[in-house]
Structure 1
Amino acid sequence: MKVVSNAPERTVLVTGGAGFIGSAVCRHLVAGGRTRVINLDKMTYAASHTALAEVEGSPNYRFVQGDIADRRLVAEILRGERVDAVMHLAAESHVDRSIDGPAVFIETNITGTFHMLEAALDHWRSLDDQGKGAFRFHHVSTDEVFGDLPFDDSLFSEESAYRPSSPYSASKAAADHLVRAWHHTYGLPVVLSNCSNNYGPHQYPEKLIPLTITRAAMGLTLPVYGTGANVRDWLHVADHARALELVMTRGEAGATYVVGGREEHNNVAVVAMICDLIDERMPLATGRRRNLIRFVEDRAGHDRRYAIDPSRIELSLDWRPEIGFREGLAATVDWYLANQAIDSKSASAS
């Protein structure tokens, strides 16, 4: 990665910056040269310093290990680093884990967001008029807050009603409502974004794509929920990082932007694509990897379909995805095969 050496124009606090999307945001912002990044991360199971190796030597990057619920620590960072904007990505995000143990999702995604909002509000009130006008609290959310869609041509938009289905999506929906309330009641300048499924390098192997890659590379069976008909809209994490910077820097205060790749694929098709890509690179002596697909009992409350209409961000912020799904998936497969230790522990994550 080539890092531009221009003096930074702003300082941004990124929460959850050692996670999959957060680390992509940190890499993107530091590479642009206009932003000094303070990364606050608790370093839970899905966090990775490896994903940040490219920026750890940069003078425009600082890592702080800590909890977003530690309001004193957050306040010290906001004040001491003279933070101009917050990008709040820290969250528990795995639906299966939320079904098995919802308490941590309530604590992190709802209570943690509350503490972040309170600290940001105090900081914003301490700024001069110019600083107040430039400040943004960017809350990064998910399209799962909208529930699910039928198998037709309907799409989620910024006006879609909230109908969360899982403890995870319900906790993110609650956080979204808190962020809007702090804007409406206290005047905190916020922006929100709700994104479709992300994929790419450095994703923890509990999600569909990295789990399938690691298991397929080992020749293990490939579990697919239900009939595999569930549809998701896929977006490469690098394209998402670009969108998030635009929302933070050019988004209208109080506005929401839904972000999607216009790349709908059902789960079994995605798994089959991965099988074919790995077969091309490392054929199995026993036959095609598609034969390893096994349909398993469906997830409780499994949403049928997610799909995004990203017209607002395309038109108002001039953003478009640059990486097509088939191209990005092939590059992701290559990255995992080259960079990840394919072992039984990673391949059995769930």
Structure 2
Amino acid sequence: MSDRPNRDHQNNPRGGRPQRGGAPRRRSDHTDRDGRDGRDWRERRDSRGERGERGDRREGRRDERWGERGNRDNRRGGGGERRHAQRAGAERSSHNRSAPQRSGFREERINKRMTEPDLPDDIDIHILDPMVLQDLKVLSKDNAEAVAKHMFMAATLMDDDPKLALRHARAAKDRAGRVAVARETNGIAAYRAGEWREALSELRAARRMSGGPGFMAVMADCERGLGRPEKAVEMGRSDEARMLDREGAIELGIVIAGARLDMNQPESAVITLQRLNPDLSSKGAVNARLSYAYADALVAAGRVEEAKQWFAHADKIDEDDMLDAAERLSELS
């Protein structure tokens, strides 16, 4: 079990759909599209802390302004208190209208919880990353524990039963819709289950809450899954893409190359990956994936002899045996 609920399912991004170009194909039967941005959680949390400090300062200035206005109104004979009460009443009324108090809301929430997937009794939520548990402390104790258990099950089932994993992730999101980590888990689970639209929506929501360039490769691959490869290419040109570290840039580049192949632009796919500087002396899982994707693009461009060299290199450094580079090389030979 990974120490984060979603890191297990971000280690093997695909640059393409099953049996199509631009993607390392896994030995697993499950469709695994893209993404390796879970490491951004801590960075995003730090940025949230900075925003929180700025927010506190803004709140302080706002309190000062209220105080000044109240003093002026009091000097005028107490009219300020009346106006302040009227404003407060209007704000409470507005809040009540916007709060989820519509008819049948409580029944709907109860029905959702009655249809949640069962949870084993022996789940130890402390296996989860401490920062995840910290994020859940905004919830009541019982609800936070239930959310953590559903997130644990979602991560555990991601490979073997992605549909059931998604049910657990949805249950966590329904209980904690304003917690970014719950939305992230739902988004990644939906992605692994092939629910591209849901995955894209949830990951966008998570990024609005937490900020940062995380999950770009996953989101770009969702665009491909929805038949919009041009949008994936656009994401590669965004300012956020320039914020990615090398590993994140490689993952996004693999997806963009796959999008180029979707658009029948093999030479553009080759150029996209060349910009990431593939190296025949490189090592590590991410470089194995880059070498594989580069070889796949070379095949699509008709450069088979070059492709053999890169498939051989991908197979050599694929220590976890996640790629089918040896089989691809055999096919070409």
Q: TM-score, normalised by structure 1?
A: 0.27
Q: TM-score, normalised by structure 2?
A: 0.28
Greater fraction helix? 2
- Choose between structure 1 and 2 for higher RCO, CA contacts under 8 A separated by at least 6 residues: 2
Bigger-Rg structure (1/2): 2
Greater fraction strand? 1
